[in-house]
Amino acid sequence: MDFLLGALAAVVAYTFLSLRVIKQYERGVTFFLGRYWGTKGPGLVFVPLGLSHQKRVSLRIMAVDIPPQDVITRDNVTLKVNAVLYMKVGNPEKAVIEIEDYRYATSQLAQTTLRSVLGEVELDELLADREKINAILKRIIDQRTEAWGIEVSAVEVKDVDLPTEMKRAMARQAEAERERRSKVIAAQGELQASQTLAEAAHTLAQEPVAIQLRYLQTVTEIAAENNSTTIFPIPIEMFRPFIAAMEHSAKGAQSQGQPSLPAPDPSLMLPRIEVGEPVRKKE
């Protein structure tokens, strides 16, 4: 009887020690007597103690830092580039059986791929089109790690460390580009201003009264801003009606046989008007 109780207690203890609890984000790759026995989890699983071995694999996305790499671009510029790799285990069985350390192997593969891909692009393309380069890195690394059961979510180039001489050259280039743009904008402004002035001159040439109004507006502005005397000639257009009336009366006199007066000279009909500050009375 005692033997049976002892055997039962041993079985219960052995069963209790063989139980494993696997979390929701984990899977347990189990080997029984050295052979693959299946992928267990999540939850409570039974792994025979002493006869089997289990290796747990996390299914969460991992961020793997790629240390700075010395890269020579296609236009022979030496720089240091680092990146970050986001990956997760898609097939726990392959991640354990096909590769010894999938995280270390993926990191090394990412470093070599980073150097090879950036060696085929120019510096301007690296700085201006990182999305394209990130997509190329992701595609290459994902294809290579598929046999290991690894899925690459994204590869992002973080920092590009340029030499000091290259930074100075880029600063001079940017300054020259800004100066070129400012000159182009100024030239475009002059062109638009000249076109607007030409349109205004064309409009004023068609409407002589508009010129007179512009003269009067100019006199008002000068008298309001400056306390000086301004001599402003009255345009001959203001005397056109009187001249026409005199010419009409002269033609009528000639038709009746009466002597007519000579037509007035327009140059003598340009009086001067002084516009200045009004005289204030002394109190």
Is residue 72 domain-shared with residue 53, that is, in the same domain?
A: no
- In this predicted structure, what is the pLDDT of residue 262? 55
Is residue 37 domain-shared with residue 98, that is, in the same domain?
A: no
Is residue 162 domain-shared with residue 107, that is, in the same domain?
A: yes
Q: For residues 92 and 57, is the Cβ–Cβ distance under 8 A?
A: yes
For 33-70, the DSSP string reads: TTEEEEEE-SEEEE--TTTEEEEEEE-S-EEEEEEEEE
For residue 230, pLDDT beyond 50: yes
Is residue 66 domain-shared with residue 138, that is, in the same domain?
A: yes
Is residue 74 domain-shared with residue 104, that is, in the same domain?
A: yes
Q: Which sign does the torsion angle of CA 162, 168, 174, 177 carry?
A: negative
Is residue 24 domain-shared with residue 121, that is, in the same domain?
A: no
Is residue 117 domain-shared with residue 51, that is, in the same domain?
A: no
Nearest alpha carbon to residue 116 among 72, 147, 159, 150: 72
User: Does residue 248 belong to any structural domain of this protein?
Assistant: yes
Please compute the mean of the pLDDT values over residues 144-153 and round it to a whole number. 93
- In this predicted structure, what is the pLDDT of residue 141? 95
Is residue 73 domain-shared with residue 131, that is, in the same domain?
A: yes
Please compute the mean of the pLDDT values over residues 218-244 and round it to a whole number. 64
Q: Which sign does the torsion angle of CA 170, 175, 178, 183 carry?
A: negative
CA distances from 148 to 30, 95, 203, 256 (A): 17, 5, 79, 122
Distance of alpha carbon 131 from alpha carbon 114, whole angstroms: 14
- Residues 6 or more apart whose CB falls under 8 angstroms from that of 99 comprise 105, 148
Q: For residues 235 and 215, is the Cβ–Cβ distance under 8 A?
A: yes
* Entry pTM: 0.61
Q: For residues 73 and 123, is the Cβ–Cβ distance under 8 A?
A: yes
The tokens describing 200, both together, are 């205004």
The tokens describing 242, both together, are 């009187």
pLDDT digits over 178-190, tens only? 888 889 999 999 8
Is residue 89 domain-shared with residue 122, that is, in the same domain?
A: yes
User: Does residue 227 belong to any structural domain of this protein?
Assistant: yes
User: Does residue 271 belong to any structural domain of this protein?
Assistant: no
- Among 16, 31, 58, residue at a domain's last position: 58
264 preceded by cis ω (within 30°)? no
pLDDT digits over 37-92, tens only? 999 989 999 999 888 989 999 999 999 999 999 998 888 888 899 999 999 999 99
Distance of alpha carbon 98 from alpha carbon 204, whole angstroms: 88
pLDDT digits over 270-280, tens only? 444 444 444 44
For residue 96, pLDDT beyond 90: yes
Distance of alpha carbon 117 from alpha carbon 109, whole angstroms: 12
End-to-end CA distance of the chain: 139
* Number of domains observed in the structure of the chain: 3
Domain hosting 221: range is: 208-259
